[in-house]
Copies of this chain bind each other. A is one copy, B any other.
Amino acid sequence: MAAIPDIVEKDLKKLETSIDKLITTKIHVIKEIVNYIIKSGGKRVRPILVILSARLCGYKGEKHIPYAAIIEFIHTATLLHDDVVDNAKTRRGFSTVNTVWGNEPSVLVGDFLYSKSFELMAREGNDMILQVISAATTALSEGEILEIVKTADINTTEKEYFQIIGNKTAVLFAAACEIGAILGKSTQQRRKDMSNFGYNLGMAFQLMDDILDYTSFDNVLGKRVGTDLQEGKVTLPLIHALRSATDEEKSYITKVIDKPRITARDFSRARKIIEKYNGIDYTLSTAENYTKNAKGHLKSFPESRYKEALLTLTNHMLSREK
């Protein structure tokens, strides 16, 4: 993402220190694996949302830093488990943890990060935040499971797709923003606004992710383009195209999506079918709608550089390249 707002720069430095400090364990390999994945160039989108939301909601303290770290831990835990589930080889241009250390440590270090996050939150003692985050992680696992259920199902509907990405991505964005509002002791309505802002932004984020998986390049994305098709993930570009595709095209996609290994030619032909029926444009305009909705939820907030930064970040979402 192009836009990391200047005003969070200082807090992001504190975040990195906090991440190091909070991961305490006697087991050396845990530290090693956590450092490997957490320092491998994540965009820190979710922590940035915690930081900006807290400041937008008038929070003056420093608790937003550990919460930002916790949100990143939870996100990292899901990545560790995702990569096992997807049998992924690279992430952010590096070999995945499951490739370097094996599936077992990936699963267990993911569990460690989940538990550590809840341990840290329990110590902080803010029950409202704990409720928001634990509900988010439950939804997250539900989204991931639904995604597996729908793997290689070319009859996946747009509604089902939205349910999947809503749960697996948007809910954690929503939680990140709601934490800020809770820290700022905002009204119920403001909490809802921030949560909705995050949710809509998260939907746009995931839609762009699913576009980039068809339109980007390996070296830009830091992972293989075409991964979704390879893994049988039926995302919106494909769902939209399939609505108008001919029977022959449909049966071709069915064949490809069931293949254990797709070729460059398979991918290229699938992409052509998607382009023919404007699958990318449709997904992009859907993402645009979500960013509009997101911005709408910030309307009632007074102008500030934090609001400005969140709006900029939302606009940049549509032009992100990785």
- A90 neighbours in B (Cβ, 8 Å): none
A141-152 interface mask toward B, CB cutoff 8 Å, 1 = contact, 0 = none? 110111011000
Assess A104 versus B119: contact at CB under 8 Å? Given A29-B145, A112-B138: no
Q: Which of A84, A119, A146 has the most CB of B within 10 A?
A: A119
- A146 neighbours in B (Cβ, 8 Å): 27
The one of B26, B30, B127, B145 that contacts A108, using a Cβ cutoff of 8 Å? B145
- A159 neighbours in B (Cβ, 8 Å): none
Count this chain's copies in the assembly: 2
A1-41 interface mask toward B, CB cutoff 8 Å, 1 = contact, 0 = none? 00000000000000000000000011101100000000000
- A135 neighbours in B (Cβ, 8 Å): 119, 122
Interface residues on A, range: 35 or more
A49 within 8 A of B: no
The one of B107, B118, B131, B144 that contacts A85, using a Cβ cutoff of 8 Å? B107
Give Cα A85–Cα B29 distance, bound, in whole angstroms: 16
- A130 neighbours in B (Cβ, 8 Å): 118, 122, 130
A101-141 interface mask toward B, CB cutoff 8 Å, 1 = contact, 0 = none? 00111011111101110110111010100110011011011
Q: Taking the nearest CB of chain B, how far is it from the CB of A46, in angstroms?
A: 17
CB nearest to A132 among chain B residues = B122
A81 within 8 A of B: yes
Give Cα A125–Cα B130 distance, bound, in whole angstroms: 9
Question: Which residues of A are in contact with B by a Cβ distance under 8 Å?
Answer: 25-27, 29-30, 81, 84-85, 103-105, 107-112, 114-116, 118-119, 121-123, 125, 127, 130-131, 134-135, 137-138, 140-142, 144-146, 148-149
Which 3 pairs show the lowest CB-CB distances between chains A and B? A119-B134, A115-B137, A112-B141
